[in-house]
Structure 1
Amino acid sequence: MKKQVGTIISIVLVIIIAVFALMNFESVAVNFGFTSVKMPLVLLILICLLIGALIIFLFSSTQNVKKNRQFKQLASESQQKQDELQDQIKQLTINLKSLETRLKNSYGKQEIGTRDQQISDLEDEIAKLTEKLSSQK
């Protein structure tokens, strides 16, 4: 939509400039300081318009080059940050697996300790019952 509006405005401006130039068809003397040239006013208007358009084009192209350079720099920084974050994620995943393994081993040891305690308690109870049984005989 913006391109269409820009195109329409450009066409209108070109028509206005063409009408203005055709209305001013007489010859004029142009003094450049070191020389003087006589040319039709239409040609002078069109040359000035062309020089103005070239200046605007040069300024806009330098701005585009600066923006592209900034974009590339930001993209590079973004990629570097993403790589750093990926490395951190990998390191955290490795640490998580290590901690899970340690937790499983710790849980297994606790379970073994609990069973050993149960066995010890059962052995004590067997010993008590054996004493009780031998004292009843």
Structure 2
Amino acid sequence: MCILKKQVTTIISIILIILIAVFAMLNLEKVDVSFGFTSVEMPLVLLILVCLLIGALIIFLFSSTQNIRQNREYKELQNQSDERQQELTDQINHLQDSLKALETRLKNSSGKQEIGAKDQQISDLESEIEKLTDKLSSQK
């Protein structure tokens, strides 16, 4: 798409240059040009070309300043994006560290729960053994 746009721009530019050259060649007579403080006689072709060059220079300067402004804005947005991405990366790392700590605490607490449950089972079995021992003793 970009290549086609460049080709169209080039073709239009060439056509405009040819039209300006033909127009200039049709106007070869000399004219008086007044600058306010002085007056100069020059061929109309030269006057047209000078005015065309001045106009092209003005357009170039305006487009250059606009490009510089856009590049500056792009860099600022890129820096903001990089900073935000770094903040998000730091938050992700912090959350991952917190998750690891919570997983470790969960493993430790579940291990303690298992030990507590086994201790309870042992206590229950010991109490059953005592009951059975008491029963046996009472039957003798």
Q: TM-score, normalised by structure 1?
A: 0.98
Q: Find 2:84's aligned residue among 62, 81, 86.
A: 81
* Aligned residue runs from structure 1 range 121-136, under 5 A: 121-136=124-139
1:15 and 2:6 correspond: no
Aligned mates of 1:133, 1:21 — CA distance in 2: 131
Pick from 22, 28, 33 the counterpart of residue 25 of structure 1. Answer: 28
Q: Does 2:108 match 1:105? A: yes
Relative to the length of structure 2, the TM-score reads 0.96
The whole-number CA distance in structure 2 between the counterparts of 1:13 and 1:133 is: 120
CA distance in 2, matches of 1:56, 1:27: 28
Aligned residues: 137
Q: Say what the alpha-carbon RMSD is for the aligned residues.
A: 0.6
Q: Deviations over 1:60-110 (max 9, x none)?
A: 000000001011111111111111111111111111110000000110111
Shift of 1:34: 0.4
Residue in structure 2 matched with residue 54 of structure 1 by the alignment: 57
Q: Are 1:38 and 2:41 matched, yes or no?
A: yes
3-state SS of paired residue (2:40)? strand
Distance 1:86 1:5 in 2: 45
Give 5+ residue unaligned stretches, structure 2: none
Identity in percent = 72
* Counterpart residue number, 2:70: 67
Q: Which amino acid aligns with 1:103?
A: L
User: 1:3 corresponds to which residue?
Assistant: 6
The runs of at least 4 aligned residues of structure 1 exceeding 6 Å deviation read none
